[in-house]
Amino acid sequence: MNLQYEFPEGFWWGSATSATQIEGAAKEEGKGQNIWDYWYSIEPNRFFNNIGPETTSDFYHQYKKDIKLMRKIGHNSFRFSISWSRLIPGGRGKVNSKAVAFYNNVIDQLLENNIEPFVNLFHFDMPLELQNEGGWENREVVEAYAVYARECFRLFGDRVKKWFTFNEPIVPVEGGYLYDFHYPNVVDFKRAVQVAYHTILAHVKAVESFRHFHIKNGKIGIILNLTPSYSRSQNPADLEAANITDLFFNRSFLDPVVLGNYPKELVHILQKYGILPITQKEDFELIKNNTIDFLGVNYYQPRRVKAKENLPNPYGVFMPEWFFDNYEMPGRKMNPYRGWEIYEKGIYDIMINLKKNYRNIESFVSENGLGVESEEKFLKDGYIQDDYRIEFIKEHLKWLYKAIEEGCNVKGYHLWTFMDNWSWTNAYKNRYGLIAIDLNTKKRTPKKSAYWFKDVATYNGF
Ligand code: BG6
């Protein structure tokens, strides 16, 4: 096969998922409630078409079949998350043996099919009891997370070698404490900063305990949604707006996890506006000494900004938007369903930045994908002909390839997602999967992109 884009040997091809989005069985076999189960029970109308986390692809019962299908479409790796409230109902205390059996089975099944498990410990799904204690605002919850992480390393570390502490830790900060799209629906910049800080603390505590386990060939990292910040122009005020958004939305997590410290400029801003988090002296040693081995990069869209133009503050209160305005670049390419800009070169810019400024840390694309509404309209000859998704992936892969050619330390590409799944408040609005699902019968049908992806994975390029 003559390939124009041939990826390095051993490249990881696969897809990513999360427990709440695929498992279902939300009330089965001892699982406790998490904030999604609870929020849906009190405000179902906040969810698209009133569909909650119980309605999923039912991976909890169908994982065997699904893993076989993964193998069929060329996966050599697969990311899933452990549900904290399933493994340790209530977040603290006794481990649920049924949950241990389930995750053991999933891991074993993956390995039998030559698919490497990539395991993430937290994907937006705080156990309800711990949220009632204040969630990430409460330092004691950080300790509970550290115990949970340790349990996972102990239970599964003999077979799982690729570990992640968090997926997109900034999203619960934004959703739960700034922009009202996650429970507990608080809007408060100062509290948001505390939540972000405690998440970093939880992360480094997990990394520290991981090191004590000496898991053979084991690696630990985190998954960040990096949104490159582009300024409207080269004017100093526009450039400053881009710098501030980079500090708030990327570097607030990227610097401590990869470099072991917070950017001075960010600390200075937080101090100036009286929103520094409460910290303890010893935290900074922990952060410094527990940097990650590798990084997952989720990339969907860039951020475009301009200097503040004295427009009315859309939120009416002190917010990150105090410092910049969003900017809609004329002619930009959009995903009309999700309202996100498509800018393939962003993936290259991220990787080059990691190479230059972040010790060329080993990384991979841990999520990238295209959500499409009413995808049934592309059904032809019995399956969805999603050429638009193939195009989307291909264009991103071309930029990724260029980054690798230029020396970036990129090891793989995981698509969001394996099968159409339930997605937070959007529920089943946008479909991202390689495999379509009929929610009534739970029948799985590969889309055209699944066959294409199989070839790419099999030939290690296209
Ligand atoms: C990522 C999350 O931010 O985006 C996933 O890690 C999520 O959990 C995905 O499903 C797509 O977002 P959405 O809201 O379009 O489904």
- 263: confidence class by pLDDT, cuts 50, 70, 90: very high
What are the Cα distances from residue 102, in Å, to 18, 128, 215, 434? 15, 21, 22, 24
Catalytic residue among 129, 321, 367, 375: 367
Is it the case that residue 48 has pLDDT exceeding 90? yes
Q: How high does pLDDT run on average in the chain?
A: 97
Question: With a 6 A CB cut-off, is 371 part of the ligand 1 pocket?
Answer: yes
Per-residue pLDDT at 151 exceeds 80: yes
pLDDT one-digit tens code per residue, 175-195? 999 999 999 999 999 999 999
Q: Which residue has the tokens 């670049």?
A: 329
- Asked if the structure places residue 4 within a domain, the reply is no
Q: Is 179 exposed, middle or buried (0-12, 13-18, 19+ CB in 10 A)?
A: middle
Is 406 an active-site residue?
no
Q: Return the best residue to mutate from 179, 373, 392, 424 for the ligand 1 pocket (most ligand atoms within 8 A of CB).
A: 424
Q: Is residue 101 part of a domain?
A: yes
Q: What is the pLDDT of residue 312?
A: 65
Please write the tens of the pLDDT for every residue from 215-225. 999 999 999 99
Whether 5 is in a domain gets the answer: no
Atom of ligand 1 minimally distant from the CA of 429: 16
Q: Residues 374-427: pLDDT tens digits?
A: 999 999 999 999 999 999 999 999 999 999 999 999 999 999 999 999 999 999
What is residue 434's predicted lDDT score, i.e. its pLDDT? 98
Q: Whose CA is nearest to atom 11 of ligand 1?
A: 423
| 373 assigned to some structural domain | yes
Question: Using one digit for the tens of pLDDT, what is the confidence trace for 308-359?
Answer: 987 666 677 899 999 999 999 999 999 999 999 999 999 999 999 999 999 9
Ligand 1 centre to CA of 268 (Å) is 32
Question: Percent of the chain beyond pLDDT 70?
Answer: 99
Predicted local confidence at residue 3, as pLDDT: 96
User: Distances from the Cα of 449 to the Cαs of 36, 170, 308, 417, 435, in angstroms?
Assistant: 30, 30, 42, 11, 8
Find the 271 Cα to ligand 1 centroid distance in Å.
Answer: 32
- Residue 313's contacts (CB-CB under 8 Å, 6 or more residues apart) are 319, 321, 322
Distance 16 CA to ligand 1 centre (A): 10
**Residue of minimum CA distance from atom 2 in ligand 1:** 168
pLDDT value for 103? 99
* CATH code for position 449: 3.20.20.80
Is any atom of ligand 1 closer than 6 Å to the C-beta of 367? yes
- Measured from the CA of 223, which atom of ligand 1 is nearest? 6
Domains in the chain, number:
1
State the closest ligand 1 atom to the C-alpha of 340, by its place in the atom list counted from 1. 15
Question: Is 447 a residue whose pLDDT tops 70?
Answer: yes
Query: Ligand 1 within 6 A of 279 CB?
Result: no
State which of 223, 367, 425 you would mutate to test the pocket of ligand 1, scoring each by most atoms of that ligand within 8 A of its C-beta. Answer: 367
**Could you report the per-residue pLDDT of 225-245, keeping only the tens digit for each?**
999 999 999 999 999 999 999
Residue 371 to residue 433: CA distance in whole angstroms: 8
Nearest-atom number in ligand 1 for the CA of 171 is 3
pLDDT on residue 314: 66
Does 298 reside within a domain? yes
Q: Is 136 in a helix, a strand, or coil?
A: helix
Domain range holding 77? 12-459
Q: Is the CB of 225 under 6 A from ligand 1?
A: yes
Task: Give the Cα separation of 376 and 396 in Å (integer).
Answer: 25
* Residue 172 CB–ligand 1 contact under 6 Å: no
Residue 3 within any structural domain of the chain: no
Nearest-CA residue for ligand 1 atom 16 is: 423
Does residue 25 fall inside a structural domain?
Answer: yes
Separation of CA 22 and ligand 1 centre (Å): 12
Residue to substitute in 416, 420, 432 for testing ligand 1 pocket (most ligand atoms within 8 angstroms of CB): 416
- Candidates 192, 304, 191, 203; CA nearest to 246 is 304
Residue 1 lies in a domain: no
